[in-house]
A and B are shown apart, each in its own frame.
Chain A
Amino acid sequence: MTTKTRVPAIEGWFTLDDKAPTLLGSKCTSCGNFAFPKETYFCRNPGCQGREFAEAPLSRTGKVWSYTDACYEPPKPYMAADPYVPFALAAVELADEQMVVMGQVVPGVGVGDLSVGTEVELVLDTLYEDDEHEYVVWKWRPTGAPTGRVA
C-alpha cells in the first residue's frame, strides 16, 4: 500500500474527485465559449470581446473521435516508467461543449479495444511517481471496460 501523496501532475486542469473527476475548462461570461485548458486573457471567439471567464467542469463522458498508441517511449519531458509500457491515446468528442479533448487511455485498454464512436469516461490515474509523490492525470476509459489500474 502506497503512502505517497497524490498530487495533480498539473494544477487546476481537473478535479481530484476519485469517483467522478472532471476536467476544468473555462466558459466565457460574454459568449459562452468553452476552452480547455482554461482561457484566462481573451476569448478565442473572434466575434467576442470577452475578457472574463468562469471555471467550467467539462462533460465526464464522450465519444472517441480517433485513437492511437505510443509503441515507443516518448522523449522527456514525458516521465516514462522503467521498463516502458506502451499506452493508447484518444481524442474524445464532448457533446455539450462540442469540442474534442485528448488524453491517454487507461492501462490495459489498447487500440484493439477502441473504435471511432466508443463511449468513454474520464478517470484519474498515475502519470508518474517519485519518492514522495504520485502524480495523477486525467485518462479516458471505455464505459464498462475492465478497470485496468485505475486510481
Chain B
Amino acid sequence: MPDDKRVAVLGAGMHPWGKWGRNFVEYGLAAAGDALHEADLPWTDIQYVAGADTIRNGYPGFVAGATFAQALGWTGARVSSAYAACASGAQAINNARAQILAGLCDVALVVGADTTPKGFFTPVGGDRTDDPDWLRFHLMGATNPTYFALYARRRMEIFGATEEDFAAVKVKNARHGLENPNARYRKEVTAAEVLASPMVADPLRLLEICATSDGGAALVLCSMEFARRHAGSQDLVTIDAVSTVTPRFPQAIIEMPNFSTDSSATAASVGPTFKQSVALAAYEEAGIGPEDVSLAEVYDLSSALELDWYEDIGLCKQGEAERMLRDGDTTLGGRVPVNPSGGLSCFGEAIPAQAIAQVCELVWQLRGQATGRQVEGARVGITANQGLFGHGSSVIVSK
C-alpha cells in the first residue's frame, strides 16, 4: 500500500476497563501516557489531538480533545472532538489520519475515555418529545438490548441459531479475555452458567449482553515518513483503512433508536446491508478482502450480534456463522479468531474508548505482544462496529 494512503501506529495504550467511578479524564490520560511511552515520544511533540467525546460526563466530555490537551498541558497543538456514539473512536482515528494524510501534521494523539452510570443506558435528560432516542424509551420501553434481541431472535428463526450457540460465543470470549490485563471480566464461564443467567430481552440473557464500563484508550499515529525517521526499519504496524460510511436508502433493517425502517415501497432495497457496507468500504480502501484477514475485533454488544458480524465482515456467507463458531474457526487457534481480546463480553462498553481499544488490540496482536491471547502469525486485522443513527466504523490494520 502506498505511503500516502496509510498511517503508522507508533504507540497504543489503555487504562484497564472496570467500574472505577473516577473522572474519565484520568483514564484518558493514563492511556495517552502509555501510548506516548510506547511511541517513545514526549507529549510536547504531538501536533494534533483527536478526542472521542463522551456525553455522560458534562461539558468536558463534549469537548474531549481540548479536555485531554489541557490536562496534558497546553502546547498549542491543533485539536478536534468527535461524537458518533459507539463509533466515536473511529471518528477520532479518522480525524487524525486525515490530518496526517493531508500533510497538515506529522504525528497525532487519539484519545477516548468514559465513566459510565450503572444499569441500562438511558437517554440524555429532559422532556425531548422530538428526539427518537428519548421517545423510544418513553413510548415503547425499548432499551438497547431490545434491539439486540430483535436481531438475535431473527437469527434463530431464519438461520436456526440456538440459545446454545449464543452461549458458546460468551464462553469463547470469556476464555479469550482471561489473560488480558485490560479486561474487566476475567473469569471463565460455562454454557450452563450463561443459560442459567436471568433473561433480559428474550432470547438474550444477562451474561450475553455487554455491560457499561469505565475505561480509556489512546493511539499515537504518524506519517510513514515520520515513522521511518523515528522508529527506523523495524516492522511498522499501519492503519490501511478507516470506514465511516452511512447506510443507503432505503435502510430496510430496524436500527436503534428508530421506530421504523425506511420504506422500500418507492425504491427497492438492493445491495449490501448497512453493516455489510461498513466492512466492504474498509476492504475496498485497503485493497484487500476478507480472505486476507488474520483476526477481527467486532462489536459483541450481545453474544448473538457477534455471529451477525462474522457474515457482515465477510468471514463466511449468510447463515454460516453458527457453523464457523461450532467448528472453532473463530476461537484462538482457529482459522480467523474473533475478539481475541475477550471483546465487549470481557470489557463492557466504554463508548468513546471502545473503537480505539479495538485498534489497540490489533496493534498488539500484529506486533506479537498479546500475551496469553496471541493470534500466531497475525498480519492483518479488521475492527467493526456501528454508532447510533448510522455511523459505520471499521478499521483495517496490517504489518
Contact = CB atoms under 8 A, between A and B. Distances in A.
Interface of A: 9-10, 28, 31-37, 44-47, 65-72, 74-80, 87, 89, 91, 96-104, 111, 115-116, 127, 137
A34 B265 contact: yes
Contacts of A32: 265-266
Contact of B137 (A31, A45, A76, A100): A76
Contacts, number: 136
Contacts of A98: 263-265
B266 to A, nearest CB: 5
Contact of A101 (B134, B199, B260): B260
Given A72-B200, A78-B138, A99 B122 contact: no
B198 interface: yes
Interface string B149-166: 111111001100000000
Nearest to B158: A116
B259 A37 contact: yes
Contact of B260 (A10, A96, A100): A100
A80 B141 contact: yes
A72 B142 CA distance: 11
20 contacts: A31-B266, A33-B262, A34-B265, A35-B262, A35-B263, A45-B266, A47-B267, A65-B154, A68-B146, A72-B200, A74-B120, A74-B143, A77-B137, A99-B263, A100-B252, A100-B261, A101-B259, A102-B142, A102-B259, A116-B154
Contacts of B249: 44-46
B232 interface: no
Counting chain B residues whose Cβ lies within 8 A of the other chain, the interface size class is 35 or more
B137 A9 contact: no
A47 B383 CA distance: 32
B119 interface: yes
Given A76-B122, A80-B141, 10 more contacts: A10-B139, A31-B266, A33-B265, A46-B249, A66-B157, A74-B141, A89-B146, A97-B265, A116-B158, A127-B139
Contact of A74 (B127, B142, B150, B202): B142
A65 B155 CA distance: 11
Given A89-B142, A102-B260, A68 B198 contact: no
B254 interface: yes
A45 B152 CA distance: 29
A71 B201 contact: yes
Contact of A79 (B138, B146, B259, B263): B138
A91 B254 contact: yes
Given A70-B201, A97-B263, A100-B254, A77 B138 contact: yes
Contacts of B135: 10
A35 to B, nearest CB: 7
Q: Chain A at the B interface: mostly helix, strand, loop or mixed? A: loop
A104 B136 CA distance: 11
Given A44-B249, A102-B259, A75 B120 contact: yes
B212 to A, nearest CB: 12
Which 7 pairs from chain A and chain B are nearest by CB?
A68-B149, A74-B141, A34-B263, A98-B264, A116-B157, A77-B138, A66-B150
Nearest to B126: A77
Contact of B267 (A45, A69, A101): A45
Contact of A9 (B139, B146, B153, B253): B139
B263 A89 contact: no
A111 B157 CA distance: 13
B129 interface: yes
B123 interface: yes
Given A44-B249, A66-B153, A99 B261 contact: yes
Contact of A75 (B122, B127, B252, B262): B122
B265 A71 contact: no
B1 interface: no
Nearest to A117: B157
Contact of A71 (B150, B200, B253): B200
Interface in B195-230: 198-204
A100 B253 CA distance: 8
Interface in B245-299: 249-250, 252-254, 258-267
Nearest to B154: A66
Contacts of A46: 249
Contacts of B267: 33, 45, 47
Contact of A89 (B140, B152, B198, B264): B140
Nearest to B261: A100
A68 B304 CA distance: 14
Nearest to B249: A46
B140 A115 contact: no
A63 to B, nearest CB: 12
B134 A44 contact: no
Contacts of A68: 146, 149-150, 152-153, 201-204
Contacts of B129: 10
A91 B157 CA distance: 14
A78 B150 contact: no
B67 to A, nearest CB: 27
A103 B254 contact: no
